[in-house]
């Protein structure tokens, strides 16, 4: 099982985002959180900034939309060059139609679930998406502690992906650090969003390598 590390720029210095993206050039993705202060109680960046980040990022951009009306807004992020666009199951109106539109525009399509949102109603959506994002904290703010109660959901998602024989990534976002990544990997996650764990380190590249090694070791023990 491949390991992918996607540092979240939510923990970066917003006054120097191009340089901050350069710090994570050894990562697999750059995770960009878009929040509208409606779906979640926080406001971050919008489409024009994301479009510019795509142009300067040394790695593909993974956009996580924590917004209302993703059916209306998500395609524009794919058109702006995001390599992956994830919308929330709790906010989307027509998930199949939106996932197909994102793929048509050349982006990977992801569906995200809040910690309390059950996965089972979305099993039939697996064939339409490229990634399931299991939130391991309540969405909205960085730096929150990892919720161990989400591990069972990660296992259920991994089991469903395996049973369907699909190449769907299982991403986790929230509280991922050197202390928690092994538990998430052992449960079946393969794509890891880490914000403060990476950007809070003096050597971001070293921390990315450490996280990747810890997750890979956990996979070998599964």
- The end-to-end CA distance of the chain, in Å, is 10
* Active-site residue flag, 186: no
DSSP 51-69: HHHHHH-SS-EEEEEE-S-
Q: For Cα atoms 173, 73, 35, give the angle at the middle one, nearest 5 degrees.
A: 40
The CA distance from 121 to 134, in Å, is 14
The CA distance from 4 to 185, in Å, is 11
145: which DSSP letter?
Answer: P
Per DSSP, the three-state class of 133 is strand
Which of the following is catalytic: 33, 36, 62, 130?
33
Token match 């878009």: residue? 34
The CA distance from 96 to 159, in Å, is 21
* Active-site residue flag, 28: no
The set of catalytic residues is 33, 173
């Amino acid at each position: 099982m491949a390991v992918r590390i996607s540092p979240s720029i939510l923990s970066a210095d917003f006054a120097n985002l191009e340089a901050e993206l350069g710090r994570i050039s050894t990562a697999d993705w750059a995770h960009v959180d878009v929040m509208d202060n409606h779906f979640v109680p926080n406001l971050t960046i919008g489409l024009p900034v994301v479009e510019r980040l795509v142009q300067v990022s040394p790695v593909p951009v993974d956009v996580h939309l924590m917004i209302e009306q993703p059916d209306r807004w998500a395609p524009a992020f794919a058109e702006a060059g995001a390599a992956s666009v994830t919308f929330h199951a709790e906010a989307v109106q027509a998930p199949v139609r939106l996932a197909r539109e994102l793929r048509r525009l050349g982006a990977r399509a992801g569906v995200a679930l809040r910690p309390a949102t059950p996965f089972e109603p979305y099993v039939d959506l697996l064939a339409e998406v490229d990634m399931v994002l299991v939130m391991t904290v309540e969405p909205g703010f960085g730096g929150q502690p990892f919720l161990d109660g989400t591990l069972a959901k990660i296992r259920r998602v991994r089991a469903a992906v395996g049973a369907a024989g699909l190449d769907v990534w299982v991403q986790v976002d929230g509280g991922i650090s050197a202390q928690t990544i092994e538990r998430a990997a052992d449960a079946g996650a393969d794509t890891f969003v880490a914000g403060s764990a990476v950007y809070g380190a003096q050597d971001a590249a070293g921390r990315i390598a450490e996280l990747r090694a810890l997750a890979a070791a956990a996979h070998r023990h599964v």
